[in-house]
Structure 1
Amino acid sequence: MTVNHTLSVAIAAGGTAGHVNPALALAEELRERGHQVRFFGETRRLEGRLVPEAGFDFFPVEVTGFDRERPWTLIGALLHLAREERRLVKAFRDDAALMPDVVVGFGAYVELPLMRAAAKLGIPIALHEQNSVPGLANKQTAKHAGLIAIAQPSVERIFRERCGDGTRIVMTGNPVRASVLAGDRCRGRGALGVADDETLLLVFGGSLGAAHLNERIASLKSELLAIPGLRVVQSTGAEGHDAAVAALRLTDEEARRWDVRAYIDGMGDMLAASDLVLSRAGASSIAEIAALASPSVLVPYPHATADHQTTNARFLVDAGASVMFADAGIDERAFADELLDLLRRPERRERMRAAARALKQDRAAQQLADAVEALRLRG
């Protein structure tokens, strides 16, 4: 569904790539449909760089978080939040071109001034929750939202307890940017020098908790390289790169089959090129793995809030698109046996790939854009 007139959409997302990239994916889809999109966020945070790079207008907002171990900091944070809310209300009232038709928050604390200003002015509010455990900002805003879009079915119950009677909760999935969705297997393999008949294992741990994955995969080096035609691309994270290289102690011959790098550029191509992914289970990782229909072995980060990465992973595991091991379990023999079996058996991986395709997570941005347009029509 596409509305037949241009909307002005204000999006608040910030702090981490897990918030900003899904917001940019929605923004790109809305722009493709002819709508105007403006972001609200902090100039000093990640959104202050990524949003202008993507060609979207950026309205700076200043927020001050609080330290839960120092409760007195909450007073200053609330005063700052109220001041920003008043500033936005005034800006919208003074400039009709700035006034949005609908606002969308992606869960970071930076969304609160915009959401509160919208509630005061009667502007329709949409929220998107990427994780299986809602963040504080979205939980606080839920009572004002006309739409809550979710990526994990488990959060619907939590929001039902907090939202209004007229709130529509929709399972849209977690939007993935078009640049990732455009990932191409041939292009990715060509960039890596991986032949069509070789098997590619892609390993990445995300910005948190990569150390244990790096250590365990290094301990399996001999068994992995004993598989004919196996190639490994391992993203260690910047802080873990030197330690991972030291643990692997790759010979020149082994290094031709095992590519160790701090970061992976062109994640879409890398996922499309891979035959199996070994990864943590952050919301963005799950979304990209599902959207590219990559068979995966997921190891949730054990210290994530409320163990939400385990719930994230179950979305793919329950669909048959992935297998999961607890972090404490990857040192056991069962983990090694399962990883090696998947690498040796392409028919298992193909079943997982088909299960991932059935989830249709590559359409999350379109589904979220549809829901945002529908919210404006209702409003």
Structure 2
Amino acid sequence: MTNTPIRLLIAASGTGGHLFPAIALAQQLPDYQIEWLGVPNRLETQLVPQQYKLNVISVEGFQKGLGISSLLTLGKLIGSVLQVRKILKQGKFKGVFTTGGYIAGPSVIAARSLGIPVILHESNALPGKVTRFFGPWCSAVALGFEVAAKYLPRAKTIYTSTPVRSQFLEPGIEATLDLPIPENVPLIVVFGGSQGAVGINKLVRQCATAWFDAGAWIVHLTGDNDPEAVSLQHPQYISLQFYNNMAALLRRANLAISRSGAGSLTELAVCGTPAILIPYPFAAEDHQTYNAKVFTSVDAALMFQQSELTAEVLQTEVLRLLKSPQQLKAMGEKAKAIAIPDSAEKLAQLVREVIER
């Protein structure tokens, strides 16, 4: 017997919603030798290399319907499967973990062709097309929302929730908030996930004056894609492209206004932050609406479709909630009841059971 560490390849690419849960899992497997699989010019090239070796492949999704571009994409898929097979064989990997998205396709095909087990984590309430297709090929599919199981009847599913970064579980993390916000003022936090949300940003700027008049402060995370991001200036308004200490910020917030990506919702739940959710209207198969309904069904949040939401309605709803601290408290408690704080440990245990059995 040798003490050679088990080698795991993590295939997670694109947005924070795909990467942060995978990083949280990796941190729970310190005895494993982990490498990463990603694509060029995505978020993983910034977040991963300082912690794990990053293997890069060329692959893309079938987004444009059938035609010449689909044949080119298919050619890239076949090439990427061969690339992943080579990485898996040379690295003597014992398992693959993926968070879905188009990088999951070649990863699952390559691993299964070599008899290597695959664990897939699906964070959304409505599983993506890749998960629905490849789920039955996987040794296990971990779910971010219990309701997702009904869309995966042929897959072996287990509910683990979605892991959050370790900072979200630190007691007293709110004390590390380094923004100049007075202690006793109501705080509204506005964010649109890791890429921002220009549609929400515009609505909030139209409403902000009335919220300032009511004594509220706003921390507005605009993302880096909003040409009007600096157009509003006010002593009670803090505008940032990004903010690293989201755990402290959400713990301090009285109310969040947010998209309903699975990662954002998990962070809101762990922090017990009441929210107004505005699903991204162009999300694949409208999956953010499915996510939001998990929260609205237990009164942990309010949801408005962006196409139907006016500045007047948003302004009025926020003012009503700020005048109803008991409702905000109840919403926060119901959000917290959804959370599984030890999700990363549960997911790591699943990975160990599948790979080591």
Q: So what's the TM-score if we normalise by structure 1?
A: 0.85
Structure 2 unmatched ranges of 5 or more:
none
Paired residues of 1:185 and 1:273 also in contact (CA < 8 A): yes
Q: Distance in 1 between matches of 2:311 and 2:122?
A: 34
Question: Judging changes above 3 Å, is the alpha-carbon distance between structure 1 residues 15 and 75 closer, same or farther for their aligned structure 2 residues?
Answer: same
- The amino acid of 1:232's aligned partner reads I
Counterpart in the other structure of 2:44: 47
Residue 109 of structure 1 aligns to a residue whose secondary structure is coil
Alignment pair present for 1:141 and 2:134:
yes
- 1:104-143 matched pairs, under 5 angstroms: 104-143=97-136
TM-score, structure 2 length as denominator?
A: 0.90
The residue matched to 1:319 in structure 2 has which SS?
coil
- 2:19 alignment partner AA: V
**Deviation at 1:61?**
2.3
CA distance in 2 between partners of 1:282 and 1:206 (Å): 7
Instruction: Provide the rounded CA distance (Å) in 2 between the counterparts of 1:64 and 1:222.
Output: 43
1:1-379 to 2 correspondences below 5 Å: 6-31=5-30, 34-53=31-50, 55-69=51-65, 71-93=67-89, 95=90, 98-160=91-153, 163=154, 167-182=155-170, 184-188=173-177, 191-206=178-193, 210-228=197-215, 230-240=216-226, 242-246=227-231, 248=232, 250=233, 255-331=234-310, 333-378=312-357
Letter in 2 for 1:216: L
**Counterpart Cα distance in 2 of 1:376 and 1:354:** 37
Q: Separation in 1 of the partners of 2:84 and 2:181? A: 52
- Structure 1 runs (4+) deviating above 6 angstroms are none
CA contact (8 A) 1:107 1:136 kept: no
* Count of residue pairs brought into register by the alignment: 354
One-letter code of the match for 2:241?
A
SS state at 2:329 partner: helix
8 A Cα contact 2:187 2:252, kept in partner: yes
Secondary structure, in 3 states, of the residue corresponding to 1:361?
Answer: coil
For the residue of structure 1 that corresponds to 2:29, the secondary structure is helix
Deviations along 1:290-333, whole A, 9 cap, x unmatched? 12221111111222222211111112222332121222343175
Distance of aligned partners of 1:115 and 1:172 in 2 relative to their CA distance in 1, 3 Å threshold: same
CA distance in 2, matches of 1:159, 1:330: 33
Partner amino acid, structure 1, of 2:35: R
- In structure 2, the residue corresponding to 1:206 is in which secondary structure? coil
Question: Matches of 1:82 and 1:149 in 2, distance apart?
Answer: 26
Distance 1:297 1:330 in 2: 11
CA shift for structure 1 position 65: 4.2
Greater shift after overlay, 61-70 or 141-150?
61-70
Q: Secondary structure at the match of 1:265?
A: coil
CA distance in 2, matches of 1:21, 1:341: 34
Q: Aligned equivalents of 1:112 and 1:323: distance in 2?
A: 35
Displacement after TM superposition at 1:5 (Å): 9.5
Cα distance change, pair 128–234 in 1 and its aligned pair in 2 (3 A)? same
Deviations 1:195-226 (A, max 9, x none): 32221110123366723322322222332112
> C-alpha root-mean-square deviation of aligned residues, in Å?
2.5
Query: For residues 20 and 317 of structure 2, what CA distance do their matches in structure 1 show?
Result: 32
Q: In the alignment, is the contact (CA less than 8 A) between 2:207 and 2:314 conserved in 1? A: no
CA distance in 2, matches of 1:176, 1:207: 14
